C-alpha cells in the first residue's frame, strides 16, 4: 500500500485528492491547522476511527511555517508521495498579508524539501508542488505553456514563484522526484466562498430565493481558464506516477470573462441579465425569469461593481496550453465550463433551500463574509 501525505487537506483540492487516493488504495495522511472552531467540514465524510486497525485516513496537526513539526510528521509517516497543497491561496488577501504569504507559500515548500534531505528521503519520497497560472501574471504570450516566461503580479504569485524554483532546484541539485503542476483556476461546489466563481454561484442562489438583494464584484473583464477541481487532482496524481520528474501546465485551453460566468450562473436559475455601463458604473439588470420558482422583478439591479474588490495589480488574461499534459500524462478534463457552472449553482441552490428550512425551524445560521 502506498502512503501519501497531503498538506492543505482541509481545502478544496486536498479534499478531492484525498478522495481520489483513498479510492486508489492509498494510506492517506493529512496536515491540518489548529483553529478555534472545527475546520474539517470538507473532509468529515472521510474521517475514520483511528482505533480501527484498518484505518487508511489520518490527520496530524501542523503548519507549513513550522519546520520541526513538518520533519516530525514526515519522519513518522515515511510518505511515498507528498502533495504540497497548503497555502494562503487568496490573491487579493496576499496584498494584506504579504509576509505571512511568503512564509507559508514560499518558505513552506523549502521546509518540506529540506525535511526530505534531513531525513535522507531524497530517493524514496516524491513531492508535488501546487504551482499556479498566477506565475504568468502580466501577459507575455498566450496561450501560456511550460516555456512561457513568468511575471508574477501579487505577493501570492511572487511567493509561489520562489516555491516553483526551489522545487526545480532541489530536483536538479539532489535528485529528488519533485514536480510542479502549474494549474490554472479550478473550481467546484467545494471552492472557498470568497473566490469569484463561488461568490457568484452563492449569490445567484441567494438572490433567486430572495435571500440577498445584490451581488457586488470587482473586475468583470478579467479572463480565466476555469476547470473542475476533480479533473485537476487526477492530473496531480498522474504527474507523480511518471518515470521522470517534470513540470506540467494543467488547463482547459478555454478562457472566459468574469462577466460571462455571471451571465451563465444566473441563466442556470432561468434569469437572463443585461449588462449596462462601464467600469465602476457597470450594472446588470434582470430582463426575464423563465423558471416559475425564481421570479424577480424585471429591471431589478442584481449586479454592481465595488472597487474594494479591485487588486493593486491585476492578472488580466489567463489561457493555458495543456498540450504537454495531454500527450505525456494522457490527461483530459471531463468537465467543461457549462457543466461546472451547472454543478456549482445546483449545489448552492440546494444549500440555501436547506438553510431557509433550518431558519424557519428556529436554527441560527452563522454569518458568512463574502
Active centre residues (catalytic): 132, 134, 156
Cβ 230 to ligand NDP shortest distance, Å? 12
Residue 148 binds ligand GDR, judged by CB under 6 A: no
The residue (of 207 and 217) whose beta carbon lies closer to ligand GDR is 217
Quick one: which of 263, 198, 258 has its CA closest to 222?
258
Helix (H) or strand (E) run with residue 187 in it: strand 186-187
CB of 116 to ligand GDR, least distance (A): 24
Residue 116 site contact among ligand GDR, ligand NDP, none (CB < 5 to 8 Å, cut-off depends on kind): none
Q: Which does 11 bind (CB under 5 to 8 A by kind): ligand NDP, ligand GDR, none?
A: ligand NDP
C-alpha to C-alpha distances, 28 to 4, 21, 176, 234, 289, nearest whole angstrom:
5, 7, 21, 15, 46
Candidate residues 125, 148, 154, 185; the one interacting with ligand NDP per rule CB under 6 A: 185
Closest of 304, 305, 349 to residue 201, by C-alpha: 349
- Sheet of strand 248-250, all strands in order from the earlier edge strand to the far edge: 57-61, 27-32, 3-7, 81-84, 126-132, 178-183, 248-250
Question: How many angstroms separate the CA atoms of 238 and 351, rounded?
Answer: 33
- Tell me the sheet residues that pair with 57: 28
Please pick, from the candidates 163, 178, 217, 319, the single residue that binds ligand GDR as defined by CB under 6 A. 217
How far apart (Å, rounded) are the C-alpha atoms in residues 81 and 197?
A: 31
**How far is CA 114 from each of CA 111, 125, 287, rounded to the nearest angstrom?**
5, 12, 58
Binding mask 189-208 for ligand NDP (x = CB under 6 A): ---x----------------
Cβ 357 to ligand GDR, closest distance in Å?
Answer: 28
Return the ∠ at Cα 79 (arms to 75 and 84), rounded to 5°. 100
Residue 6 engages ligand NDP in binding (rule: CB under 6 A):
no
From 19-27, 85-93, 240-248, 254-262, span contacting ligand NDP (CB under 6 A): 85-93
Residues 88-117 contacting ligand GDR, CB under 6 A: 89, 91-92
- Among positions 105-164, residues that touch ligand NDP (CB under 6 A) are 130, 132
CA dihedral (238, 244, 247, 252) positive or negative: negative
63 binds, among ligand NDP, ligand GDR, none (CB under 5 to 8 A by kind): ligand NDP
Q: Which residues are near ligand NDP by CB under 6 A?
A: 7-8, 10-14, 31, 33, 35, 39, 63-65, 85-89, 104, 130, 132, 183, 185-186, 192
Chain residues that interact with ligand GDR, rule: CB under 6 A = 89, 91-92, 132-134, 184-185, 194-196, 199, 217-219, 222, 224, 258, 309, 311, 314-315
Amino acid at each position: 500500500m502506498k502512503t501519501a501525505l497531503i498538506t492543505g487537506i482541509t481545502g478544496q483540492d486536498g479534499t478531492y485528492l484525498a478522495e481520489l487516493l483513498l479510492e486508489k488504495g492509498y494510506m492517506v495522511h493529512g496536515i491540518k491547522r489548529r483553529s478555534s472552531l472545527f475546520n474539517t467540514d470538507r473532509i468529515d465524510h472521510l474521517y475514520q476511527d483511528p482505533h480501527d486497525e484498518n484505518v487508511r485516513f489520518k490527520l496530524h496537526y501542523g503548519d507549513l511555517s513550522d519546520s520541526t513539526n513538518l520533519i516530525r510528521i514526515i519522519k513518522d509517516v515515511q510518505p511515498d508521495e507528498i502533495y504540497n497543497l497548503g497555502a494562503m491561496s487568496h490573491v487579493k488577501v496576499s496584498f494584506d498579508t504579504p509576509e505571512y504569504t511568503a512564509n507559508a507559500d514560499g518558505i513552506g515548500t523549502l521546509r518540506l524539501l529540506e525535511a526530505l534531505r534531513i531525513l535522507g528521503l531524497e530517493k524514496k519520497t516524491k513531492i508535488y508542488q501546487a504551482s499556479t497560472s498566477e506565475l504568468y501574471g502580466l501577459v507575455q504570450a498566450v496561450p501560456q505553456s511550460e516555456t512561457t516566461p513568468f511575471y508574477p503580479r501579487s505577493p501570492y504569485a511572487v511567493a509561489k514563484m520562489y516555491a516553483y524554483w526551489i522545487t526545480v532546484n532541489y530536483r536538479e541539485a539532489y535528485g529528488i522526484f519533485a514536480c510542479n503542476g502549474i494549474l490554472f483556476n479550478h473550481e467546484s461546489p467545494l471552492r472557498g466562498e470568497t473566490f469569484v466563481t463561488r461568490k457568484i454561484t452563492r449569490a445567484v442562489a441567494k438572490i433567486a430565493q430572495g435571500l440577498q438583494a445584490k451581488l457586488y464584484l470587482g473586475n468583470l473583464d478579467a479572463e480565466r481558464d476555469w476547470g473542475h477541481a476533480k479533473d485537476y487532482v487526477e492530473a496531480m496524481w498522474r504527474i507523480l506516477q511518471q518515470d521522470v520528474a517534470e513540470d506540467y501546465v494543467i488547463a482547459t485551453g478555454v478562457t472566459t470573462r468574469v462577466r460571462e460566468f455571471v451571465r451563465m450562473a444566473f441563466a442556470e436559475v432561468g434569469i437572463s441579465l443585461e449588462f449596462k455601463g462601464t467600469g465602476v458604473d457597470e450594472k446588470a439588470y434582470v430582463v426575464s425569469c423563465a423558471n416559475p420558482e425564481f421570479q424577480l422583478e424585471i429591471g431589478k439591479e442584481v449586479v454592481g461593481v465595488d472597487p474594494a474588490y479591485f487588486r493593486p495589480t491585476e492578472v488580466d488574461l489567463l489561457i493555458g496550453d495543456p498540450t504537454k499534459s495531454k500527450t505525456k500524462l494522457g490527461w483530459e478534463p471531463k468537465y467543461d465550463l457549462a457543466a461546472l457552472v451547472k454543478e456549482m449553482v445546483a449545489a448552492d441552490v440546494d444549500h440555501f433551500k436547506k438553510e431557509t428550512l433550518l431558519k424557519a425551524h428556529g436554527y441560527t445560521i452563522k454569518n458568512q463574509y463574502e
